[in-house]
A = this chain, B = another copy of it.
Amino acid sequence: MRVSLKDVAAHAGVSIKTVSNVVNNYQHVTPAMRERVQRSIDALGYQPNLAARHLRKGRTGIIALALPELGNPYFAELAASVIDAAAQHDYIVLLDHTGGLREQELLVSQGFRARVIDGLILSPIELETEDLRDRAQDVPLVLLGERDYDLPYDHIAIDNVAAARAAVRHLIDLGRREVAFIGARRRRSEPAQLRVRGWREELTAAGLAADEGLVAATDGWGHADGAVAMTHILDSGRRPDAVFAYNDPMAIGAMRVLHERGLRVPEDIAVVGFDDVIEGRFGAVTLTSVSPDKAAIGRLAVESVLARLNDRAPEHRRIWADYQLAERESTLGRPTGTGRGTA
C-alpha cells in the first residue's frame, strides 16, 4: 500500500498539514520540526500522490506534444528536444501523433485525446484557422510549424518563405534555371504553401519562370512520396536541372529515383531538401538542406506554454526560430555565398 501524508503524520506524531508544509517547503516550519518530519518521510519512503495534488491544485505537470508523424526523423528529433526542454522545468511530455489528419488534429486541439494536460504544443498540417477559433480556452495552446494562422495563440516557426527562397537562391547561384518543387500537398489546405511560395517568389525575383508544371503534388511527405513525385516529373518528359523538396525524406526518395534513372546528383540535377535530418548526411550523395534550429524550437515551445500557464495574459506572439542552409554534395558546384538565415 502506498504511504500517504496521513501515514507520515502518524509516524511523526504531527498533523497532516505540517507534513504537507515540509513537503512543499513552506516557509514557517522550524528546522527541528522539518528535520523530524523529514526523517519520517524518508523512513516510510513517502511519495506525493500526484492525482490528489492535481485534483487540488488543478495542475498535472504534463504537457502534450502532438506531431503529425513520428516516423519522420525531423519530428522525432523535435520531440526529443521538447522532452528535454520540458524536463528542465520539471514537466513531462505526453506524446501524440495525428498523421497530419484534420480530424485527429481537431480532436487533439479540443483536448479529447488527453484531458490530463496543463498545456498543448501542436504541429498542425491540415487544421484550418476556423477549426481553432471556437476552441475551449482552458488549456494553453502553442502552435508549431509552418502554417500561417491569424489567431490568439503563440506560434513558433522558422520563416518558411524566406528559408525556401534561400534554398532556391542557392540553386540559382549554382547556375540552375529549371527548378522543380516536390511536395506540394494534394489534400486540403496545402500546408506546404509557404515553401512553394518561397520557391515561386525567388524564381520570379531572379527573372526565371516559376513553371507550375515543375511542381509535383503528393499525398504524404515520406520517402516514397518523394520518389513518386520525382518519377512523375521525369515521366512527364520534363528534365529540370534542380529539385527543391518539401523535406529531406522526399529529397532522398527523389534522389533514389534519379539514381535509378542514371541521372547524376548534382551534375545533372542538384537537390535541396528541408529539415536537415541526420540521414541526409550519410547517403552516397550527402544532401544540402535547410536546417532549422530544432533545439531552439523545442525550447521556445515549452517556454511559451509554461509562460502562458503562469502569467495572466501576455501578448500572443509569433516567434521566429533561426535556420541555416547546410550545403553538401547534392548541390556541389561553383562556390557561392552562404545562405545564412535571418533570426
Binding site for B on A (CB under 8 A): 2, 45, 47-52, 54-55, 58, 60-62, 69-71, 73, 75-77, 79-80, 83, 87, 92-97, 111, 113-116, 136, 138, 222-224, 227, 249, 252-253, 255-256, 259, 278-279, 281-286
B278, B282, B285: the one contacting A71 at CB < 8 Å is B278
| B94 pairs with A94, CB closer than 8 A | yes
| A70 pairs with B62, CB closer than 8 A | no
CA distance A47 to B61 in the complex (A): 20
| A70 pairs with B77, CB closer than 8 A | yes
Nearest first, the 9 A-B pairs at minimum CB distance are: A284-B284, A76-B76, A51-B54, A95-B95, A51-B55, A223-B282, A70-B80, A256-B282, A70-B76
B79, B114, B116, B284: the one contacting A51 at CB < 8 Å is B116
CB-defined contacts of A60 to chain B, threshold 8 Å: 51, 116
CB-defined contacts of A111 to chain B, threshold 8 Å: 47
B77, B87, B94, B227: the one contacting A62 at CB < 8 Å is B94
B48, B70, B114: the one contacting A79 at CB < 8 Å is B70
| B278 pairs with A256, CB closer than 8 A | no
| A94 pairs with B97, CB closer than 8 A | no
| A278 pairs with B223, CB closer than 8 A | yes
Given contacts A51-B54, A60-B116, contact A93 B94 (CB under 8 A): yes
B48, B52, B94, B252: the one contacting A282 at CB < 8 Å is B252
| A71 pairs with B77, CB closer than 8 A | yes
For A111, the closest partner residue in chain B by CB is B47
CB-defined contacts of A87 to chain B, threshold 8 Å: 113
CB distance from A117 to the nearest CB of B (A): 9
- Between-chain CB contacts (< 8 Å), 27 pairs: A47-B115, A50-B116, A52-B55, A62-B94, A70-B79, A70-B80, A71-B73, A71-B77, A71-B80, A71-B278, A73-B76, A83-B97, A87-B113, A92-B114, A92-B116, A93-B94, A93-B95, A223-B281, A223-B282, A224-B282, A252-B279, A253-B282, A256-B283, A256-B284, A259-B284, A279-B279, A283-B283
